[in-house]
Every structure is written in C-alpha cells, then in structure tokens.
Amino acid sequence: MTNKSFLATSYSVLAKTMKRALLATVAFSLAVPAMASNQEALKTGEWDFINSAADGTSYFGQVQTQLDDQIVLKVRVKGDPTIENKDYVIITAIKCGEKMFKQAGGKWARPTDDMVVKWWIEFACQ
C-alpha cells in the first residue's frame, strides 16, 4: 500500500468515525428532552403533522439530523391540556432500525403501544 492510498483510507475512516461521533454527541446532549416555550420560535420552520391524541393534543415533526439509522427529531406539541403553556417543542433521538428512542437519563428504550413516541418513531423513520 502506498503512502497516498494509506492516507486516503485513513482519512475516509476518520471522516466516518467523526460523523458517528458527532451524532453520538448530539444524541447524548438530547438525552433529556429539551422543551422550548418561545412562541415566536415555534411559528418558524416547516412542521409536518404526525398525529392527534384523544385528549386533543396535536403533534407536528421536523427531522433535524440523520446519520445512518439514527435521527434527531424535533416535535412540536400543540394544545396539551396537561400543560399550562399548551404549545412547546420536544427534541429526541431515535434509532430507526431498532425502533427505539432516547429516554431521559441517556438510555435507549422501545415505546409501548400507549406511548405517543411510537407515532414519532413511525413518522421519523418512514
């Protein structure tokens, strides 16, 4: 192997490793779902409808970042009757291949059938 081909191979491996490290860092920093209540910030951007719950809460989504089968998903929640500020954003990480989401505390988990995050995974991984 020539010096040039070794460097090219090393660069390719390094680039792939750095991309994975970046996603891992982003996912780790989002381990605790972030909530934003700035009403002006919520009005910007393209939001796609995900689903509505029986209590009238509606969910809209934006895929923020994707690397391989991992996605950082931003979910806008509107009309939540259990929260005083009924319009807010949650950011979570999702593994599409395993249909898992990042819980508070940094652990990956599979949603149960009664969790709205199941809709979010279906939306993000379509």
* 19-70: pLDDT as tens digits: 554 444 444 444 444 444 445 555 566 899 999 999 999 999 999 999 999 9
In the chain, the largest separation of any two C-alpha atoms, in whole Å, equals 65
Q: Pick the residue with more confidence: 83 or 97?
A: 97
Q: How far is CA 87 from CA 5, 23, 24, 81, in A?
A: 54, 27, 28, 10
Which helix or strand (DSSP H or E) is residue 3 part of? Answer: helix 3-29
- The average confidence (pLDDT) of the chain is 78
- Beta 34-36 vs 70-78: how paired, if at all? unpaired
Q: What is the pLDDT of residue 9?
A: 52
Question: DSSP letter at 96?
Answer: T
- Which pLDDT band holds residue 6 (cuts at 50, 70, 90)? very low
- Arithmetic mean of pLDDT, 82-109: 92
pLDDT in tens, 58-88: 999 999 999 999 999 999 999 999 988 789 9
- Arithmetic mean of pLDDT, 84-102: 93
